[in-house]
Amino acid sequence: MKCADRVWIVLGFLFCSLGSAGGSLRLAEDNIDEIVRQMSPREKAMLLVGCESLVSKDSLTVYVPGAAGYTKSFPQYGIPSTVMADGPVGVRIFPIKVDGKRHYCTCFPSSTLLASTWDTQLVETQAGAMGEEAAVYDVDVILTPGINIMRNPLCGRNFEYFSEDPVLSGLMGAAMVNGVQSRGIGTSLKHFVANNQQVNKLNNDSRIPVKALREIYLKGFEICLQHSNPWTVMSSYNKIGGILTQSNAELLRTVLREEWGYDGLVVSDWYGKRNSPEQLEGGTNLLMPGEKAQLEEIEAGIESGALSMEVIDDAVKHILDYVVKTKAFRKDIHAALPDLEQHAALSRSVAGQGMVLLKNDSCVLPLKGIKNISLFGATAYHSIAGGGGSSNVNKSHIVDISTGLEQVGFVLDRSLKDLYTKYNAYQEALLVDPKATDWERLSYRRYVYPEMDLMPNKTLVGEQAKSNDMAVVVIGRGSTEESDRKVHDDFNLSDSEIYMIDKVCKEFHARNKKVVVLLNIGGVVETASWKNKPDAILSVWFPGQECGHAVADVLTGTVNPSGLFFHEAVSTTPPILDRKST
């Protein structure tokens, strides 16, 4: 060890010891103002910056592998570090090892599917399960819900959001907040505001008329805050009218705090560093995940007088108000691991209720008297549980659509299944790092494979139509926060997909046999050019890890899709969402 390193360690020890000896105050719910008065300017500056790159994991109160970020601990004041983790469809951390065995989190259905249920009670139930898992794994805040408006159908993050309607988005978001926080775990309402695209999202300047901003983009957040009280609100990356939202005092101080009365913590979106003093002056309280340059900027602003202690103290109070709510501060201990089987069953139930039946000619669904099925589509055998990026939950399994159908008694054509199995194995060998672990292949390394081209084999589909009772065709689409979707071969179907639907419909209809198309998608796709060909179309969205089971439930009639029409507990839904009242 170098001499300089020893000096810093000794100084750090003395600093902590002096802080502890210099004042006997320990953080409590009723002494936050006193703690703020006792803290030095440097300590305050350090508290305002997330500690990802400022401290080692050994100095954290709790270290959770794969968590998004941490706040700084100050043992001398009894201030613990807190843990924040993504995301919108389940707790995003690395698999946890207990007694040598990996333990995972549950990948629940996407927000878009939840909105399709129109059932706030169902959302609250799912959110409660997410909160339970966070509590067991020592996470203090889940960074959800995202309620931005789906302004553009190609936004890569639409699957994380609820709707293009601010009322539906606001009430669904409130249900998510209330469900998670009922378990003593915080949430982060995001991204405030107008985060409606992923291309150039760090620098995008949204030009929105005030009327549209108030009535569409802000309205969902306002409604959510009327019906819930999230511990944190996360500001977005973008600008509005040339001003960064993270530095926009009119937005964060006037609208959010003064007009709407929000008194929680305002946290920045992750990375995308800005001018730190301007962020604090504008109303952001906590800069995440934290870097040394931000701390230096804040200290320089304090020293020069450019950054007032009034602004600093206000931000520190908001952080401490947040800290005293957390599991880390309460020192809650959860000995039992989460009931992942129960949560998987819940995920399956929610998924079925949120699927949308777009077409059902001659009531072909639910399937009756059908046994032998020709199952087409690469996604049918390698199904999509959810989107990529911060919503990518490390789950123990994904039930493919093929598996779900087989487990309820349907017989899939073996030759067709073998063909797709070989094709998907080739795609995996081509796209996936061979060093990837099994859990990585289910999450970060799980790719959506391009559709297999059936055109070279002129007889395959006809032979399938002769041998089986009906056809199910699966169209799959991936989506992620890293980029927006494209029109070609994404919003519009690819040539291979168009040929597959056309050929399957012609061959099976020629023999008076039905065709059902399943859309395993996170956002909308073009249907006008081909919707008249199949007999039924079911949007299954991103249905979570129990994808195949939930699809089978709907196809067999065990579950009615878009369940609020049939949901017995409709009276628990706010009147504004009660379809029976319209």
Distances (CA, A) of 305 to 44, 49, 248, 309, 311: 15, 19, 20, 8, 11
Alpha-carbon Rg for the chain, nearest whole angstrom, is 26
CB atoms near residue 8 (< 10 Å): 10
The pair of three-digit structure tokens given for residue 475, joined into one six-digit string: 């169209």
Distance CA 253, CA 11 (A): 39
Spatial CB neighbours of 171, under 8 Å, sequence gap ≥ 6: 120, 223, 224, 227, 574, 576, 577
Distance CA 74, CA 416 (A): 61
Instruction: State the residue for tokens 């995972």.
Output: 104
In sequence order, the β-bridge partners of residue 97 are: 102
Q: Clarify whether 269 is annotated catalytic.
A: yes
Q: Determine which helix (DSSP H) or strand (DSSP E) holds 550, and give its type and residue range.
A: helix 547-555
Is the CA virtual torsion 415, 419, 421, 425 positive or negative?
positive
Enter the DSSP assignment of 136. H
In sequence order, the β-bridge partners of residue 473 are: 376, 517
In sequence order, the β-bridge partners of residue 375 are: 472
Of the candidates 169, 512, 501, the residue with the CA atom closest to the CA atom of residue 359:
501
Distances (CA, A) of 470 to 75, 364, 382, 473, 511: 66, 11, 21, 10, 10
The pair of three-digit structure tokens given for residue 461, joined into one six-digit string: 């589909």
DSSP-derived 3-state class of residue 356: strand
In sequence order, the β-bridge partners of residue 372 are: 411
Q: Give percent helix, percent strand, percent coil of the chain, each to the nearest 5.
A: 45, 10, 45
Distances (CA, A) of 10 to 17, 18, 21: 10, 12, 16
Enter the DSSP assignment of 448. P
Distance CA 302, CA 441 (A): 48
Of the candidates 547, 582, 580, 553, the residue with the CA atom closest to the CA atom of residue 564:
580
∠ CA 398-403-406, rounded to 5°: 160
Residue 333, exposed/middle/buried by CB under 10 A (0-12, 13-18, 19+)?
Answer: exposed
DSSP-derived 3-state class of residue 140: coil
CB atoms near residue 102 (< 10 Å): 14
The pair of three-digit structure tokens given for residue 113, joined into one six-digit string: 């599917």
> Active-site residue among 86, 138, 140, 269?
269
Half-sphere exposure at residue 470, Cβ-oriented, CA atoms within 13 angstroms: 19
Distance CA 537, CA 367 (A): 13
- Which spans in 470-525 are helix H? 495-509
**At 272, phi and psi to the nearest 5?**
60, 55
Residues marked active site are found at 269
